[in-house]
C-alpha cells in the first residue's frame, strides 16, 4: 500500500488518480535533515526556504531567477540491490551507476553522457536485497536522480523545489509494487488493433505523390503496411491544422483512397502555433487568451519550424478544450491518428533572447581579434540559443487558478498537450478508436496516449537501448511505445534494419522513421526484399498475441516487457541480464544487437523451446534446457523462446500462443 508524504504545497500534476493516505502530519520542515517514519531508509533535507521571507516564497511572486528551495532525499543503496524504473532514460535497465535528470529535453544526440531525454517518469523501484521499495516523486519541475554516480552506495534525489508529493511503498514482491503504482495512476491508453500494424514514416515526404509512391512500392514488394505517417511537410508552412493544398489536393479523398488500400495516414501536430495574421488558429488563440504569457502579460514569442510561434498554455483547461477541438479539422477529413511533437516544448530561440544575442554580437564585431575567452564566449552566444533553461524561466502558465512559472511545471507540457488531444479524440474519432502518441511525457499522460522515444540514431547501441527502455516505460504506465525502427538520425544499413526489426516486431508501436537528409530506409530500398517481407509478416502473425497481452497488461496493471530479474527473483544469473526480456507471459526475446554477429549467447532461467523463424511457415523448433546456450541467428531469422507451460501453434498466417 502506497503512502504519501506532502512537503510544502506541491503542484497537483494529476498523475495520481486515487486518494492515498498521508502517513505523517510533519508536512513542513526546513533546513534540517529528517527521517520520516514510513520512508524508512531515506533521510530528507528541505533547504533554501529559511533564507527568504515567507511572502517571497509564494509561487506567484517568482521571477526569472534560479529556483530557491530544494529537497534532497538520501538513501544508502544495499549491496546487491537493483534499481529499476525512471521510464525513458539512457543506459541500462538497472539504473545504478549513473545520474538521470528529469527535465524534458529536445536533444537528438542520445549519447551515453546525457542525463535527460524527452520524458520525466519519476518512478523508482529498488529490489533484490531485502524488501523491495518503490518511490514516485510527483514533482513536475527538475528532479535529479543520482543512483550511485557521485558515491557508489548512495542514492540521492534532488528536487529543485521546496514542494513535493512523495509516494512510497514497500513489499517483498517488487511486481506488486509496480501493479499497485499503476492502479494509482489509472488505466493505460490502448489504441485500436489496427495501430499494431507496421507504419512507414520519413521526414521528407512532401506530396501526395511521395506518399503514393511509398504505398505502391510496399505493395509491389508484397510487404504489409498499415500506416504512413505525415511529417511536417503536409502542412501549409508548418501551421498546425492546415493542409498544403498544392501538395495534397483533395485531402479527404486521398485519405479515403489510402484507407481503401488498408493504409491510414497519421499526421504530426507540433506544439507551437505560427504567428500569422489571418491564420485562424493564431487569431483565435490570441483572442481567447490561450497562449503562454511572459511576466509583463504579453504572449511569449519563440521560434520553431514555422518561424515565430506562440505556445498554447495546455495547463489551462480552456486552452486544452480549444486546442483539442482543433483536431476536428483533420478527423473530419478521415484522419484517426496523430503524433504530437516538439512538446517539451522545443524552442529554437525566443525573440527576447535573440535580440540580446544580436546586441552582444555588435560588441564582438568591434573586437580586433577574439582571444581564447572571447572565442568561447562567442561560441556560447551563438551555439546554444535553443532550449535554454533561462528561456524556460521567462513564461508562465495558468493552472488551477495559480500562475506558475514554466520551469516549475516544465515536464507537464507534453503531457497536457496530449491530454488536450486525447480528451477530444475520444469523441472526434468514430468509436473513440484513436491512435495518439507523443514525444514529451510525464506519468499521467499514459492515460491519453503512447510515446515514441524520439530522435535516436541508426546505431547498434540504440537498438539495445530500445530494448532496455521498454520495461521502465511499462512500469510508468506507458504500454503503447516504441522507437524509430532503423534509427532516426544517421544512415541505416541493411543488417542493422534487419536486426532492429527482430526487436520492433514485438513493440506495440512499430514504425520505421528517419530524418531529413539521411539514407533512405524504407524496407523496399534494401536488397533482401523477401527477408523483409517475411519479418513484417511475422509481426502480423504475432498481433493477436501482442494485442491480448497489451489488453491484459492495461486491465491488470501488468508489464508487457518484464526483465528477467523481476520474473525469476531467486535466479542469481537472471539478476544481471540486460539484453533479454519476457514479452507477455509466454515468450522471451534475446535479440542480436551487434554488427556482423552470427548469433549470441542466451541465458535461459528455465527450459524453453526456441522457435527460429525465417518466415511464418519456415522455422526450426529446438527444445533447450535451462542454462547458457550459443544460439546461431542469421539476419534473416527471428528467435522466439517459448516458456514451459505454453505452446505456439502456427495456423495459416497467424500464431496462436496459449497456455497448455
- Which residues form the interface with ligand GLC (CB under 6 A)? 203, 231-232, 268, 341, 439, 454-455, 513
> Measured at CB, which residue is nearest to ligand GLC?
203
Q: How far is the CB of 551 from ligand GLC (least distance, A)?
A: 28
CA 9 to chain centre: 28
Which of residues 67 and 108 has its CB atom nearest to ligand GLC in the complex?
108
Distance, in Å, from the CA atom of 478 to the CA atom of 555, rounded to the nearest integer, reads 13
Closest by CA position to 168, among listed 181, 186, 183: 181
Of 203 and 364, nearer to ligand GLC (C-beta) is 203
Of 4 and 439, CB closest to ligand GLC: 439
Taking the complex as a whole, the smallest distance from the CB of residue 323 to ligand GLC amounts, in Å, to 18
Asked whether 561 and 583 are in contact (CB, 8 A), the reply is: yes
Query: CB of 203: closest distance to ligand GLC in angstroms?
Result: 4
SS3 state at 5: strand
Comparison of 88 and 455: residue with beta carbon closer to ligand GLC: 455
Other C-beta atoms closer than 10 Å to the C-beta of 513 total: 23
DSSP, collapsed to helix, strand or coil, labels residue 99 as strand
Q: Which is nearer to ligand GLC, 327 or 550 (CB)?
A: 327
Element (H, E) at 165: strand 164-171
Q: Minimum Å distance from CB 270 to ligand GLC? A: 7
What contacts 24+ positions apart, CB below 8 Å, involve 616-620?
616/534, 616/537, 616/538, 616/541, 616/650, 616/653, 616/655, 617/650, 618/534, 619/650
* Nearest residue (CB) to ligand GLC, 183 versus 386: 386
The angle subtended at Cα 221 by Cα 217 and Cα 222, nearest 5°, is: 115
Taking CA atoms, 158 is separated from 100, 320, 596, in Å, by 11, 31, 43
Least distance to ligand GLC, CB of residue 326, Å: 18
CA distance 397 to 292: 6
Contact 172, 131 (CB under 8 A): yes
- Among residues 268 and 565, whose Cβ is nearest to ligand GLC? 268
Q: Which is nearer to ligand GLC, 513 or 537 (CB)?
A: 513
Smallest gap from residue 341 Cβ to ligand GLC (A): 5
Cα–Cα nearest to 454, from 481, 497, 483: 483
Helical residues (DSSP H) of 111-245, grouped into ranges: 174-185, 208-221
Please name which of 570, 588, 551 lies closest in space to residue 471, comparing C-alpha atoms. 588
Residue 268 or 273: which CB sits closer to ligand GLC?
268
Contact 392, 410 (CB under 8 A): yes
Least distance from ligand GLC to the Cβ atom of residue 353, Å: 21
Tell the smallest beta-carbon distance from residue 283 to ligand GLC (Å): 24
Neighbours of 356 (CB within 10 A): 13
CA dihedral sign of residues 457, 459, 463, 464:
negative
CB-wise, 101 or 268, nearer to ligand GLC?
268
Q: At closest approach, how far in Å is the CB of 461 from ligand GLC?
A: 19
Q: To the nearest whole angstrom, how small is the minimum distance from the Cβ of residue 349 to ligand GLC?
A: 16
Of 141 and 272, the one with the shorter C-beta distance to ligand GLC is 272
Bridge-based pairing state of the strands 450-452 and 481-482: parallel
Q: How far is the CB of 228 from ligand GLC (least distance, A)?
A: 13
SS (H, E, C) 113-134: CCCCCCEECCEEEEECCCCEEE
- Is the Cβ of residue 185 or residue 268 nearer to ligand GLC in the bound state? 268
* Min CB(303)–ligand GLC separation in Å: 14
Asked whether the beta carbons of 86 and 121 are under 8 A apart, the reply is yes
Diameter of the chain measured on Cα atoms: 81
Nearer to ligand GLC, 320 or 511 (CB): 511
Which of 258, 268 has the CB closer to ligand GLC?
Answer: 268
Query: Alpha-carbon torsion 499, 502, 503, 505, what sign?
Result: positive
Tell me the torsion sign for CA atoms 564, 566, 567, 569.
positive
Smallest gap from Cβ 104 to ligand GLC, in A, equals 13
**Alpha-carbon distance 497 to 458, whole Å?**
9
C-alpha cell at 240: 498546425
Rounded to the nearest whole angstrom, what is the least distance from the CB of residue 452 to ligand GLC in the complex? 8
- 456-494 in b/e form (b: 16+ CB < 10 A) is bbbbbebbbbbbbbbbbbbbbbbbbbbbbbbbbbbebbb
Amino acid at each position: 500500500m502506497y503512502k504519501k508524504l506532502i512537503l510544502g504545497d506541491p503542484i497537483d500534476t494529476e498523475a495520481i488518480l486515487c486518494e492515498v493516505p498521508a502517513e505523517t502530519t510533519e508536512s513542513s520542515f526546513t533546513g534540517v535533515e529528517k527521517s520520516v517514519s514510513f520512508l524508512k531508509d531515506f533521510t530528507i533535507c528541505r533547504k533554501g526556504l529559511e533564507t527568504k521571507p515567507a511572502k517571497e516564497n509564494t509561487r506567484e511572486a517568482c521571477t526569472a531567477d534560479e529556483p530557491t528551495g530544494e529537497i534532497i532525499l538520501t538513501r544508502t543503496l544495499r549491496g546487491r540491490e537493483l534499481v529499476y524504473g525512471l521510464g525513458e532514460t539512457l543506459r541500462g535497465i538497472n539504473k545504478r551507476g549513473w545520474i538521470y535528470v528529469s527535465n524534458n529535453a529536445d536533444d537528438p544526440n542520445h549519447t551515453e553522457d546525457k542525463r535527460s531525454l524527452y520524458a520525466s517518469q519519476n518512478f523508482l523501484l529498488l529490489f533484490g536485497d531485502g524488501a523491495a521499495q518503490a518511490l514516485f516523486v510527483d514533482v513536475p519541475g527538475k528532479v535529479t536522480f543520482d543512483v550511485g554516480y557521485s558515491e557508489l552506495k548512495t542514492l540521492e534525489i534532488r528536487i529543485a523545489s521546496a514542494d513535493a508529493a512523495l509516494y512510497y511503498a514497500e513489499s517483498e514482491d517488487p511486481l506488486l509494487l509496480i501493479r499497485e503504482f499503476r492502479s494509482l495512476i489509472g488505466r493505460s491508453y490502448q489504441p485500436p488493433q489496427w495501430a499494431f500494424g507496421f507504419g512507414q514514416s520519413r521526414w521528407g515526404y512532401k506530396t501526395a505523390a511521395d506518399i503514393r509512391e511509398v504505398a505502391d512500392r510496399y505493395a509491389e514488394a508484397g510487404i504489409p503496411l498499415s500506416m504512413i505517417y505525415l511529417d511536417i511537410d503536409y502542412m501549409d508552412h508548418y501551421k498546425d491544422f492546415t493542409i498544403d493544398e498544392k501538395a495534397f489536393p483533395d485531402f479527404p479523398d486521398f485519405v479515403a483512397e489510402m484507407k481503401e488500400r488498408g493504409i491510414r495516414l497519421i499526421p504530426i501536430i507540433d506544439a507551437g502555433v505560427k504567428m500569422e495574421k489571418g491564420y485562424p488558429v493564431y487569431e483565435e488563440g490570441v483572442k481567447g487568451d490561450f497562449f503562454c504569457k511572459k511576466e509583463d502579460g504579453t504572449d511569449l514569442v519563440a521560434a520553431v519550424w514555422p518561424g515565430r510561434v506562440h505556445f498554447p498554455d495546455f495547463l489551462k483547461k480552456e486552452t486544452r478544450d480549444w486546442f483539442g477541438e482543433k483536431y476536428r479539422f483533420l478527423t473530419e477529413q478521415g484522419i484517426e491518428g496523430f503524433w504530437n511533437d516538439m512538446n517539451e516544448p522545443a524552442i529554437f530561440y525566443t525573440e527576447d533572447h535573440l535580440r540580446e544575442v544580436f546586441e552582444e554580437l555588435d560588441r564582438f564585431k568591434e573586437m580586433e581579434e577574439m582571444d581564447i575567452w572571447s572565442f568561447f564566449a562567442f561560441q556560447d552566444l551563438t551555439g546554444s540559443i535553443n532550449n535554454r533553461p533561462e528561456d524556460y524561466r521567462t513564461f508562465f502558465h495558468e493552472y488551477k487558478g495559480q500562475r506558475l512559472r514554466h520551469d516549475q511545471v516544465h515536464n507537464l507540457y507534453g503531457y497536457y498537450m496530449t491530454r488536450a488531444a486525447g480528451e477530444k479524440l475520444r469523441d472526434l474519432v468514430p468509436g473513440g478508436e484513436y491512435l495518439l502518441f507523443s514525444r514529451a511525457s510525464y506519468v499521467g499522460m499514459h492515460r491519453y496516449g503512447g510515446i515514441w522515444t524520439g530522435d535516436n540514431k541508426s546505431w547498434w547501441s540504440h537498438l539495445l537501448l530500445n530494448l532496455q527502455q521498454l520495461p521502465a516505460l511499462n512500469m510508468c504506465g506507458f504500454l503503447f511505445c516504441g522507437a524509430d525502427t532503423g534509427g532516426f538520425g544517421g544512415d541505416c544499413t541493411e543488417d542493422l534494419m534487419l536486426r532492429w526489426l527482430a526487436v520492433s516486431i514485438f513493440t506495440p508501436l512499430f514504425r520505421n522513421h528517419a530524418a531529413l537528409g539521411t539514407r533512405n530506409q524504407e524496407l523496399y530500398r534494401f536488397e533482401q526484399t523477401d527477408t523483409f517481407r517475411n519479418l513484417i509478416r511475422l509481426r502480423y502473425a504475432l498481433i493477436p498475441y501482442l494485442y491480448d497481452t497489451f489488453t491484459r497488461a492495461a486491465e491488470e496493471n501488468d508489464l508487457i516487457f518484464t526483465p528477467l530479474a523481476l520474473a525469476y527473483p531467486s535466479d542469481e544469473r537472471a539478476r544481471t541480464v540486460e539484453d533479454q526480456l519476457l514479452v507477455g507471459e509466454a515468450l522471451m526475446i534475446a535479440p542480436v544487437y551487434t554488427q556482423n554477429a552470427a548469433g549470441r549467447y542466451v541465458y535461459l532461467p528455465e527450459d524453453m523451446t526456441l522457435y527460429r523463424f525465417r518466415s511464418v511457415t519456415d522455422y526450426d523448433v529446438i527444445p533447450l534446457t535451462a542454462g547458457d546456450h550459443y544460439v546461431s541467428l542469421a539476419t534473416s531469422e527471428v528467435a522466439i523462446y517459448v516458456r514451459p507451460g505454453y505452446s505456439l501453434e502456427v495456423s495459416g498466417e497467424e500464431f496462436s500462443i496459449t497456455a497448455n
